[in-house]
Structure 1
């Protein structure tokens, strides 16, 4: 999802106007409020195959960009559940033009499994002339080369609930039945005011729209501060889907959202509770080892040319403070519940250490 290519202002993260392919497109509608297009390809991959796409190891390929917070969720959940062998992963580069995310990181600029240069090709194989955003994350059927779904919120839940036969031994329960109502409630407000809230600030086309989004964002961050001041995780005493969804926004806050999106009442590193919470997750296996700060900064600052016309990428902030002690263990909690941490990522999926300079 994140910041995709294909349509006009409004898509899942941001979908540029196709008239500006050279710069990535238009993100801000002058005088208006950013409205996210939430019409996704709703097909589901399920254990019973009721939508025609059954769970089957090796059949599907998850297309992501490490720059995108929405795709980052799927990367984390796939890691925590140990689904690397069951679902392969295609990693697009950090930038895109108005047409599509591209596989420019791969030899010859083609994904080695799907054989395509642009994610757009997988969308068009199922929906010729697909008019909405070419978005990540997306699940692609390898035999046909067709996109199956880009419904990022449902995708991560289905990894937890439909792919259980292929979870690793010791996989945590990220969406336990007993907590689903509360997780859903927390996710709904965090999405509206934080995950999407930073975009509503950054892509606001008027002072009024920006100020409204800014206040909603920081009011919600204050609410989260209060909630997390006495408990280690958002729901229950273990990591759940709710923590994954909040983390991918928080980890981008100081490098991108504080300056680029004008979310500047305070940095994350100046909000003690949320900063400690984010560092706790960052140092938890499966979280920080998925983060590519270089891709994150390059994406936002190079692609959003109507916000940052020069395309200059800032050198800061210093990232070494991500590894300072967080002290959240004092609140108790068991990160993986009755499960275990995931092993290190496969060598081919490890983030370049130069892209996450932690000192």
Structure 2
């Protein structure tokens, strides 16, 4: 999760604070970029960097999907944090010895400390860490996936799709801006609201944008153009969490995504596309939101539903045409 005024990325001053203070998402403090020319001091190099994610986090899930679609698994290694943090930030308790086997650290904050001691902000994912130095390179969740698509091209797999095609970038940026403001971020504004009026404004924004996007997708398979782009990735990571956590936990409950025929078919279409559903872990998603946000859900009880089986049912969106990967090909199946 991206750090907020209340340090959403780690427990810090206590998860009970959620829902008791106006939500504000802060800008990423570490905004260096890993680029082909290395202009920020971090050149693209195979095996040099490690992507740290939580499978629960929608911002980190963007990077997971992009990495899969572009075939960067061998070039950019992956560290998966426990969905439940403690007051020392994201932890690597899913790994043997409770340490990341490549970075050798127990908590992500150690990479932040190696970069900037006494950094006052939150410890957030996604994060890219320089393996040789152990230093955090960037936690700029808005930029990471764009750079994976445009700066890491020399390391893309054969047949990798163009997720940010230059002729469509203005339209993609415009669509993504509205989705970010009202949906990606809007569900958090609603869920962490501390006043009724604040909640109602955010919730109205969420469903107004959902209705607008549903209308846009009624006669087109993808958000922009006739292939999957960065815009679809960013929308999907919110849609796939909506019924499981945002509808109940964040009180975005005017209706479920599964009750909108267009959005539900679109979401299933993406979920069943290699690189999307195979990066989703509903157990991590639900345990993180319901057990970490104790200010909203003080009992820590995790709901049993919804049944994920519906995600694999036929969607019928093929009739709208379009080519998911353009002139490219799907990524290889996930290896056990």
Normalising by structure 2, what TM-score?
A: 0.98
Tell me, in whole angstroms, the C-alpha distance in 2 between the residues paired with 1:80 and 1:94: 23
The answer for the alignment partner of 1:220 in structure 2 is 209
Match of 1:293 among 279, 282, 305: 282
Tell me, in whole angstroms, the C-alpha distance in 1 between the residues paired with 2:36 and 2:5: 36
The answer for the alignment partner of 2:87 in structure 1 is 98
| Bigger shift: residues 120-129 or 33-42 | 33-42
**2:324 aligned with 1:335:** yes
Q: How far is 1:35 from its partner?
A: 1.4
Match of 2:300 among 301, 304, 311: 311
**2:46 aligned with 1:52:** no
Tell me, in whole angstroms, the C-alpha distance in 2 between the residues paired with 1:332 and 1:17: 45
**2:19 aligned with 1:28:** yes
Q: Secondary structure at the match of 2:50?
A: strand
Q: Secondary structure at the match of 2:13?
A: helix
Match of 2:169 among 166, 172, 180: 180
Number of residue pairs the alignment of both structures matches: 336
Query: Tell me, which stretches of 5 or more residues in structure 2 are unaligned?
Result: none
Deviations 1:213-257 (A, max 9, x none): 010110000000100001000000000000000000000000100
Q: How far is 1:202 from its partner?
A: 0.2
Match of 1:18 among 12, 15, 32: 12
The answer for the alignment partner of 2:50 in structure 1 is 61
The answer for the alignment partner of 2:236 in structure 1 is 247
The answer for the alignment partner of 2:178 in structure 1 is 189
Contact residue 16 and residue 27 of structure 1 kept, 8 A: no
Q: Secondary structure at the match of 1:252?
A: helix
**2:88 aligned with 1:88:** no
Tell me, in whole angstroms, the C-alpha distance in 2 between the residues paired with 1:17 and 1:248: 23
Match of 1:277 among 234, 243, 266: 266
The answer for the alignment partner of 1:199 in structure 2 is 188
Contact residue 8 and residue 15 of structure 1 kept, 8 A: no
Tell me, in whole angstroms, the C-alpha distance in 2 between the residues paired with 1:183 and 1:131: 34
Q: Secondary structure at the match of 1:140?
A: strand
Q: How far is 1:17 from its partner?
A: 6.2
Kindly tell me: are residues 323 and 202 of structure 1, through their superposed partners in 2, closer, same or farther at Cα, counting changes over 3 Å? same
Contact residue 9 and residue 90 of structure 2 kept, 8 A: no
Q: How far is 1:34 from its partner?
A: 1.5
Q: Secondary structure at the match of 1:147?
A: strand
Q: Secondary structure at the match of 1:189?
A: helix
Match of 1:229 among 196, 204, 218: 218
Tell me, in whole angstroms, the C-alpha distance in 2 between the residues paired with 1:40 and 1:235: 30
Q: Secondary structure at the match of 2:53?
A: strand
Contact residue 17 and residue 25 of structure 1 kept, 8 A: no
The answer for the alignment partner of 1:211 in structure 2 is 200
Kindly tell me: are residues 77 and 38 of structure 1, through their superposed partners in 2, closer, same or farther at Cα, counting changes over 3 Å? same
Query: Tell me, which stretches of 5 or more residues in structure 1 are unaligned?
Result: 348-359
Q: Secondary structure at the match of 1:63?
A: strand
Tell me, in whole angstroms, the C-alpha distance in 2 between the residues paired with 1:195 and 1:288: 18
Tell me, in whole angstroms, the C-alpha distance in 2 between the residues paired with 1:172 and 1:124: 36
